[in-house]
Structures are given as C-alpha cells and as structure tokens.
Amino acid sequence: MPTILVTGATGNVGREVIAALRQRGRAGEITAATQNVERARGQLGNDLSYVKLDFAHAASFTPALAGVEKLFLVRPPQISDVAHSIVPFLHAAKAADVRQVVFLSLIGVDKNRIVPHAKIEDAMREVDIPWTMLRPSFFMQNLDTTHRDEIRDGDEIFVPAGEGRTSFIDVRDIGAVGALALAEAGHDYKAYELTGAEALTYGEVAMIMSEVLGRLIVYRKPSLLAFAARWNARGHPLDFIGVMAGIYTTARLGLAARLTDELPKLLGRPPISLRQYVQDYRETWKR
C-alpha cells in the first residue's frame, strides 16, 4: 500500500494530521517518522507504522523514504540550518520518487525571506515534487505548551505583544487541512494562508481564558527586556529568546493580525474559535 510519511509526527501539527487521516480511515497508510520509535508508538498508538528519521543524520533519509508516495513535512523548531538538513531530505525524497509534499510553512513567508521556511519553499520548487504549502498563523496551542506553566501556576500571560492583535489558529484545523491535501486530489502547487476567524489582543485572550476557566487570568504586557530577562533566568538560550521576542514584536506592531478565509473554504466550516480551544484544553491549566 502506498505510504504517507508524516514527519514531526509527535509534534503539535503532525499529531493532528495523523488524527485527521485516522478519521478518514487512512491510518493503515501512515508511517510516522520520529527520532525515537518506541516513544512515538507510546504516544500515537499501534495502528500506525513507524520509522526512524533524524534530519541531522542524512543516513536516515533513504530508509525512511522507501515506498513513500506522499510526505507531510515539518521543519522542527530546533533546526535552523535547513540547507544541511531539510533541503537534502527533499532531494532524497525526489530520488525516492515521492509524488507529493505538503509542507508546514508560515504565514507571510513570501514577504519574510529570512525565515528557514522560505529556503525550504524555494527548495521544494527546485526539486519539483508536486507541493502544497500550508502557511498558518500563530498557534493557539502555544498557550498550552510554551506558556502553559505561567498560566497554570501564575494565572498570567507574559508575552511582549503590547496591544497588538494575533489571528490565532488551532492546530487541529491545520491538521484537518493537511489531511485534506494529502487524501484528496486538487491541492498540488497551491499555497494556503491559514488563520482563525478572529484577531485577538492578549488582553482579550486573558479575558476569554478567565471566563472559561472560572478564575482570573491576567495579561501582564511586559516590555521586551522583562520578557527576555524572565526566559533567560529560566536558562533558555539567547537565540530561542530572540526568536520568541521577534514573534511577539511582530504581533505588537500589528503584523500578526491578518485574517484569511482559506480555511473555511477548504474545510466547509468555520475555524475553531479561541473560546472553543480553551474549553477543549481546560484541563491543561488546572492546578
């Protein structure tokens, strides 16, 4: 049976692509790529196949790509040197006769050439495997991953985004679009800019969280310096803090607020709202 190889399978989006393919009855076609097969099997279940893949080790590419027809490609946030990891992986995919790549890119990538996703999109055009670019906005799920602890334990959202608005998207919606692009024809050579239905300030996010969780969550609106100092004190590397600072500065400047209607057009339903997301994940922030 032709294989759909899902990279980043244990991550936020890959997991949801797998869930959506499963809902379509396609679990038998999925191979989940991971650095640690046993851990991934524990997380994702026994109805999938697994293969070891490490973008930092080219020797893992050809075995992982054997028999693969379609590829869901995630650039792990830990990997910035894509020229020596993801780009050679794409060449290996071409050599392995992969017929379609759906890539998890980034909204605004066409105007922001310094992000690694731009280099990957260029490489995808160059190797010319029929491609689909998913270009999502900022994930709602950053609130239950990166910012979970300060919300759960401190009842606060601590990001330097000022009064800027963000067009948050739920990764479950990205997973649904990924599965659609992989499972149905008609998505080759298309780039989809995906956002939620509303652009919210973090003050509004805190209000929604307060209402749903039944306790006061405060948006602290820290300066860039205060934000950097806190993450530095937690021992995070400067380049990581720099990337986060850049993301929240973009939001503060009002550049993360753009809304598109591509997601409802593709899925035939509205995007998941932030209120729904908080309701569905409420256990995450319970003390």
Ligand X SMILES: NC(=O)c1ccc[n+]([C@@H]2O[C@H](COP(=O)([O-])OP(=O)(O)OC[C@H]3O[C@@H](n4cnc5c(N)ncnc54)[C@H](OP(=O)(O)O)[C@@H]3O)[C@@H](O)[C@H]2O)c1
**Residue numbers at the binding site for ligand X (CB under 6 A):** 8-14, 34-36, 40, 53-56, 74-79, 104, 106, 136, 138-139, 142
Closest CA to 31 of 57, 76, 63, 78: 63
- Ranked by CB distance to ligand X, the top (closest) residue is 11
CA 104 to chain centre: 7
Q: Which is nearer to ligand X, 11 or 271 (CB)?
A: 11
Nearest approach, Cβ of 144 to ligand X (angstroms)? Answer: 11
At 138, list the tokens: 């900022």
Shortest separation between residue 89's beta carbon and ligand X, angstroms:
9
Q: Which two tokens stand for residue 176?
A: 């649904």
- By CB neighbour count within 10 A (0-12 exposed, 13-18 middle, 19+ buried), where does 77 fall? exposed
Least CB distance to ligand X at residue 161 (A): 13
* C-beta of 43 vs 287, nearer to ligand X: 43
Least Å distance, CB 214 to ligand X, is 26
For ligand X, which is the closer residue by CB, 1 or 96? Answer: 96
Query: For 163, which DSSP code?
Result: T
Task: Tell me the one-letter amino acid at 66.
Answer: A
Tokens of 54: 């490490």
Distances (CA, A) of 130 to 17, 38, 90, 197: 19, 32, 12, 29
- Shortest CB 209 distance to ligand X, Å: 17
Q: Cβ closer to ligand X: 35 or 210?
A: 35
- Contacts of residue 157, Cβ cutoff 8 Å, sequence gap at least 6: 143, 147, 150, 151, 202, 205, 206, 209, 217, 218, 219, 220
Q: 82 or 228, CB closer to ligand X?
A: 82
Q: How far is the CB of 94 from ligand X (least distance, A)?
A: 19
Q: Which is nearer to ligand X, 142 or 210 (by Cβ)?
A: 142
